[in-house]
């Protein structure tokens, strides 16, 4: 063994572990979605007030939901894949929470990020497919392009064209607490935990 070997190795190991720990938030996440989930759980994120229009043509904004818990998903109505899962999840969330009194203290909101194609007609059809009735479950689009950009940025959602006219996008579900803060982010594959979490949050 040569002089300086042990100190150099120790330095490299310490630096490497520090870098890996930094990149994985302490070895807890390897994906950006996971990092985002952890970040908002630690510190709920106040959301800017964004104006939207629902499937019945009613304008509303995030501020209207103050005092209520809100579950949000991001969709586009022509979506052939994951949005169907999201829609079905929300349908089941409503079904599961129907018998529970606290289950009425939260609302659902599906926001389209494709205003170019999603007019009121398209939103209404999407809602009817899953039995969505406003105001309990609104299918909505932001009123303008800037609102949409602000929304995606504050939710930390990445939406990119897939080259075939559709989009690659996050399938996360976002929980906005009664103070209007983004408080939890869920993976889309667990409708049971979604309704449970929403009921729990609404009952607080």
Partner 1 sequence: MSEGRLLAAAGFWVVLWLPPVRSALESDMAVHMAVQLPLLIAIGVLAAPPLRRFEPRLLADADWLGIPGLVLAAFATSLWMLPRMLDQALADPLAELGKFLSLPLLGGLPLGLSWRRMPGLGRAFVWANFIPKLGAVGGLYLAAPTRLCAYYGVDQQAEAGWTLITVAAALGLVSFVAVFAGRPRAMFAPHDGPA
Contacting positions for partner 1 (CB under 8 A): 1-5, 7-9, 11-13, 15-17, 19-20, 23-24, 29-35, 158, 160, 162, 168, 170-171, 187, 189
Provide the minimum distance between the beta carbon of 187 and partner 1 in the complex, in angstroms, as a whole number: 7
Based on CB atoms, which residue is closest to partner 1, 36 or 124?
Answer: 36
In the chain, the N- to C-terminal Cα span, in Å, equals 62
State the minimum distance, in angstroms, from the CB of residue 196 to partner 1: 20
Residue the block writes with tokens 């194609």: 117
Rounded distance between C-alpha atoms, residue 157 and residue 116, angstroms = 18
Closer to partner 1 by Cβ: residue 95 or 189: 189
Among residues 203, 178, 204, 164, the alpha carbon closest in space to that of 71 is found at 178
Residue 23 or 133: which CB sits closer to partner 1? 23
- The minimum distance between CB 162 and partner 1, in angstroms, equals 6
Beta pairing class for 137-142 and 106-112: parallel
Give the distance from CA 59 to its chain's centroid.
21
**Which lies closer to partner 1 via its Cβ, residue 16 or residue 57?**
16
Provide, rounded to whole angstroms, the least separation between the CB of residue 112 and partner 1.
19
Nearer to partner 1 among residue 78 and residue 129 (C-beta): 78
Query: Cβ 35 to partner 1, closest distance in Å?
Result: 6
Q: Using the 8-state DSSP alphabet, how is residue 17 labeled?
A: H
Question: b/e per residue, 18-51, with b = 16+ CB within 10 A?
Answer: eeeeeeeeeeebeeebeebbebbeeebeebeebe
């Amino acid at each position: 063994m040569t002089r300086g070997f042990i100190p150099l190795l120790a330095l490299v190991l310490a630096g490497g572990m520090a870098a890996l720990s930094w990149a994985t938030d302490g070895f807890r996440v390897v994906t950006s979605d996971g990092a985002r989930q952890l970040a908002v759980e630690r510190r709920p994120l106040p959301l800017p007030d964004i104006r939207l229009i629902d499937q019945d043509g009613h304008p509303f904004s995030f501020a209207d939901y103050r005092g209520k818990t809100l579950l949000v998903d991001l969709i586009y109505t022509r979506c052939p894949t994951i949005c169907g899962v999201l829609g079905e999840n929300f349908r089941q969330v409503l079904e599961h929470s129907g018998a529970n009194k606290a289950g009425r203290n939260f609302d659902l909101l599906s926001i389209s990020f494709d205003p170019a194609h999603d007019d009121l007609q398209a939103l209404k059809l999407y809602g009817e497919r899953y039995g969505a009735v406003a105001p309990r479950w609104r299918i909505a689009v932001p009123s303008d392009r800037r609102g949409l950009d602000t929304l995606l940025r504050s939710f930390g959602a990445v939406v990119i064209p897939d080259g075939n006219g559709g989009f690659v996008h996050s399938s996360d579900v976002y929980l906005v607490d009664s103070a209007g803060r983004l408080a939890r982010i869920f993976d889309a594959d667990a409708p049971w935990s979604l309704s449970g979490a929403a009921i729990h949050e609404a009952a607080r």
